[in-house]
Amino acid sequence: MMAQSVAGRWTIGLVLARAWRRAPHLVVLLLLTGVAVVSLFPLYWLFNTALTPASSTVKLPPDIIPTNATLDNFAEIIRVSGQGRLRLLGPENPTRMSRLLLWFINTAFIALVSTAAHVLFDSMAGYAFAKRKFPGSNVFFWMILAALMIPGQVTLVPLYLMITKMKLINSYVGVLLPGLADVIGIFLLKQFIQTLPHELEEAARMDGASELGIYGRIIMPLAAPALAVTAIFAFQRYWNAFLWPLIVLQSPDLFTLQVGLSFVHTSEFGTNYGLMMAGAALAAIPMIVFFFAFQRYFMQGLRIGAVKG
């Protein structure tokens, strides 16, 4: 009897001791979860409001979880954003559709074309700077490094005047072309391609491979991870771009999602928060899906970018 109760007391002591030792761990987990909840709250609130029926958006206390979840707000914002013509396929396209869907297609188009051009041009230049010796390569590369320091606001006004003079205001070309002049991808790819062994190219050259073949068949497949990182960051940047499209695009049919949303925000629907959040959610969802699909590359890209400058 006596021995048993002593043993019992011992076990309780052990459990307590273990809990005490683990306590910091629990506190850490709770603290981290708390910080994460605050950080994620705006995104959560976006979807919560977007899914809440219009009748319950403005009430106190607010619904903390969407109890009567509905897609009404999405249908409504697509309806009230107005009708427009898709101008991608030519100016006289008769098909009319909801402006919000139009903006979605415009944004996807601009982001995809920019990303594709970026990956192609940056990888070409990155390869040349990493592996080829040619007069002027140092000068060009230093110019690129210097350009990394120049904030976009410096070129904003001159670019606007230039695009105006070229009569490219209110056109996709006007949005796309200056946007393609971005040097961070060249830098990133040069750093990566430099680490590839030189022997592969030499061997290919011995076998009579063409210069394009070496770039396309040898270097590009090996640089695939860095190309993926470049593509992902470019896509994110162009999908979320705001200031330049805002300045260049003037007719609502051409707007991107971010520009369109900023105009809806100042319209009569701006204080209809259910609608606003549904529109914002439509702009956010592709990037969120994109992030979950390519999370690994996002993390890698950050580290590559931070290695040196």
Partner 1 sequence: MSSAFAPAVSWPGRLLKFWRRHKWSYFFIAPSMILFLVFIGYPVLQAFLLAFQKVDLRGGAWVGLKNFQDLLASKLFWAAMRHTLVYAFFVVAAWITSSLLVASLIQPLSNRAQSLFRGAFYLPNVTSIIVISLVWIWIFEPDYGFLNYLLTVVGAPKVLWLQNPDIALWSIVLSTVLVVPGSGVVLYSAAIGSIPREYYEAAEVEGANWVQSLIHITFPLLRPTTLYLTVIYTIAGFQIFERVYIMTGGGPINATTTIVQLIFQTAFSDFNYGRASAQALILFAIIAAFSFIQFKFLSTDVEY
- Other Cβ atoms less than 10 A from the Cβ of 36: the count is 10
Q: Does 108 bind partner 1 (CB under 8 A)?
A: no
Closer CB to partner 1, 10 or 44, in the complex: 44
Residue from 82, 98, 140, 204 that binds partner 1 (CB under 8 A)? Answer: 140
Residue from 153, 206, 208, 224 that binds partner 1 (CB under 8 A)? Answer: 153
Residues 14-53 close enough to bind partner 1 by CB under 8 A: 24-25, 28-29, 31-32, 35-36, 38-43, 45-46, 49
Q: Does 170 bind partner 1 (CB under 8 A)?
A: no
Residue from 17, 242, 251, 267 that binds partner 1 (CB under 8 A)? Answer: 242
Using an 8 Å Cβ cutoff, are 73 and 278 in contact? yes
Two structure tokens written together for 164? 């105006």
Measured from the CB of residue 305, what is the shortest distance to partner 1 in angstroms? 9
| HSE (side-chain half, CA atoms, 13 Å) at 157 | 1
Q: Of 119, 79, 86, whose CA–CA distance to 104 is shortest?
A: 86
**Separation between Cα atoms, residue 161 and residue 155, nearest integer Å:** 10
91-112: b (≥16 Cβ within 10 Å) or e: eeeeeeebbbebbbebbbebbe
Using an 8 Å Cβ cutoff, are 205 and 214 in contact? yes
Q: Does 227 bind partner 1 (CB under 8 A)?
A: no
**Separation between Cα atoms, residue 255 and residue 250, nearest integer Å:** 7
Q: Does 290 bind partner 1 (CB under 8 A)?
A: yes
Q: Does 215 bind partner 1 (CB under 8 A)?
A: yes
Using an 8 Å Cβ cutoff, are 123 and 227 in contact? yes
Mask for 172-191, x = binds partner 1 (CB under 8 A): -----xx-xx-x--x-----
Measured from the CB of residue 47, what is the shortest distance to partner 1 in angstroms? 10
**Separation between Cα atoms, residue 162 and residue 164, nearest integer Å:** 5
Closer CB to partner 1, 84 or 274, in the complex: 274
**Separation between Cα atoms, residue 174 and residue 159, nearest integer Å:** 10
Q: Of 153, 179, 174, whose CA–CA distance to 162 is shortest?
A: 174
Residue from 12, 15, 116, 157 that binds partner 1 (CB under 8 A)? Answer: 157
Closer CB to partner 1, 8 or 152, in the complex: 152
Closer CB to partner 1, 46 or 108, in the complex: 46
**Separation between Cα atoms, residue 31 and residue 29, nearest integer Å:** 5
Closer CB to partner 1, 42 or 197, in the complex: 42
Q: Does 142 bind partner 1 (CB under 8 A)?
A: no
Contacts with partner 1 by CB under 8 A: the residue count is: 93
Closer CB to partner 1, 203 or 289, in the complex: 289
Helix-, strand-, coil-residue percentages of the chain, each rounded to 5: 75, 0, 25
Q: Does 291 bind partner 1 (CB under 8 A)?
A: yes
Mask for 249-288, x = binds partner 1 (CB under 8 A): ---------x--xx--x-------x--xx--xx-xx--xx
Q: Does 243 bind partner 1 (CB under 8 A)?
A: yes
Handedness of CA 33, 35, 38, 39 (dihedral sign): negative
By CB under 8 A, which span of 58-66, 71-79, 82-90, 196-204 interacts with partner 1?
58-66
Closer CB to partner 1, 85 or 103, in the complex: 103
